[in-house]
Chain A
Amino acid sequence: MTIQNPESGDFRRDEVIAGEYVLGVLSAEDRRKVEARMVLDRSFAAMVGRWQDNLSSFEDEYEPVVPPARVLTMVERRLFADAVSSAPAAAVSGGFWNSLVFWRGLTLAAVIGMAAIGTINSGLLSGSQGGKPLVAELSGEGSTSINLLAQYDGESGALRVVPVAARQTEEKSLELWLIVGDKPPQSLGVLPQTGKGEIIVPQAMRAKIAEGATLAVSVEPFGGSPTGSATGPVIAVGKTRSL
């Protein structure tokens, strides 16, 4: 196979470096350089990913060895030791939305693509590339708040928000907000208390839910915010991305 691309020299060199990285033959310093480039250069990262997939069948050579039980004990001690001591956060009221401290302190959305999302198919999202369904994991600070998994199907307008480990048990409602750019948050609706429901996003709002938009959840009086803007503490926030 001949390569006609005039830049093929660099391209081929990149392929080789990506392959060397996956093989593991590079020095520690070179490995850091490769990883830095993967962050900045998506097509290079894709090369690395492709090698990873291609070569992974060599892993059949690793005969499984059950590790001693103490390893898991140590791992869990390291990961979960401090989790027991923290108490649920008290609700903070008023002005929270605009608080800089809030924005700074917030663990910004870890965005995920989960196998479970596979159940939403053919989600055509107008205006978003590839018409893929969107998903966002919304997470609050530490272990004190709740985590939510939001799945949006643009075709039906169904936005499904599943609270994970909800801790707010009073007569409060969770309200979902959409933030596009610097615009003020707009309500998408109140989440059903059952924890497994859907919000049908109003037609007018659907076009606004695109990749990169932010979803946030606030704690509001039962039935939703009385004012039309978030009044309670924002307990979770996350950016959407295509699956």
Chain B
Amino acid sequence: MTIDDISTLIGRISLRDRAAFSQLYKKTSPKLFAICIRILRDRNEAEEALQEIYVKIWQRADRYATGETSPMSWLSAIARNHAIDVIRARKPVANTIDEAYDLADPSPDPEKSALNSAEGRRIETCMEQLDRERAEAVRKAYVEGLSYQELAELFNVPLNTMRTWLRRSLLKLRECMDQ
């Protein structure tokens, strides 16, 4: 299965091609189902979510623009966003984006900068530059859809510490990826 295949299928779906839709479902549903199971941690809910996700894919296929993002990550984003919306609705967490963010100034790190290539770098390389625990927190947040509260409990740190960890880690990743 190549990226082009999936992207072509999405294009055909946007023209209301049902055969393309069931083909896309066959090719991609195991991955998207895995996302639902992992984030929702409940098979029945995951099945229900998967239904909603493919209804959305059918409805939004015309908004997929080749080149802007890879077709698989476009599909995964629909799946993850839906699954995360379901758990955030089920188990509300505090609003945060209107509060102050403690981002600190990025400290230039000449040693590490020297390793940078001119090309944009892969996330895995940049993840290695984070402290192990923080990198793990970033990964768990993404893969399992954990909230700040859940992450704080898991890593046994205060909630605010976890927020600062993740936010600063995001900035470091951004800077690293941009170099």
Contacts and interface: CB of A to CB of B under 8 A. Distances in A.
A16 B47 contact: no
Q: Which of A34, A52, A55 has the most CB of B within 10 A?
A: A55
A31 to B, nearest CB: 7
A17 B97 contact: yes
Contacts of B12: 114
A195 interface: no
Q: Describe A's contact surface by its main secondary structure.
A: helix
A25 B141 contact: yes
B134 interface: no
Given A19-B173, A34-B97, A116-B11, A57 B62 contact: no
A67 to B, nearest CB: 4
Given A25-B147, A25-B148, A115-B11, A53 B70 contact: yes
B39 to A, nearest CB: 8
Interface in B49-69: 50-51, 54-55, 58, 61-69
Interface residues of A, number: 65
Contacts of B77: 22, 52, 56
A113 B34 contact: no
Nearest to A66: B30
A106 interface: no
A12 B29 CA distance: 36
Given A2-B108, A29-B95, A31-B85, A67 B103 contact: no
**Which 8 A/B pairs are nearest by Cβ-Cβ distance?**
A114-B11, A64-B30, A110-B62, A19-B170, A56-B73, A62-B34, A113-B65, A115-B7
Interface of B: 4, 7-8, 10-12, 14-18, 21-22, 25, 29-31, 33-35, 37-39, 47, 50-51, 54-55, 58, 61-70, 72-73, 76-77, 80, 84-85, 88-89, 92-97, 101, 103, 106, 108, 113, 122-124, 138-139, 141-143, 145-148, 151, 166-167, 170-171, 173-175, 177-179
Interface of A: 1-3, 9, 12-13, 15-17, 19-20, 22-31, 33-34, 49, 52-59, 61-68, 70-72, 74-76, 78-80, 110-118, 137, 143, 147, 149, 164-165, 243
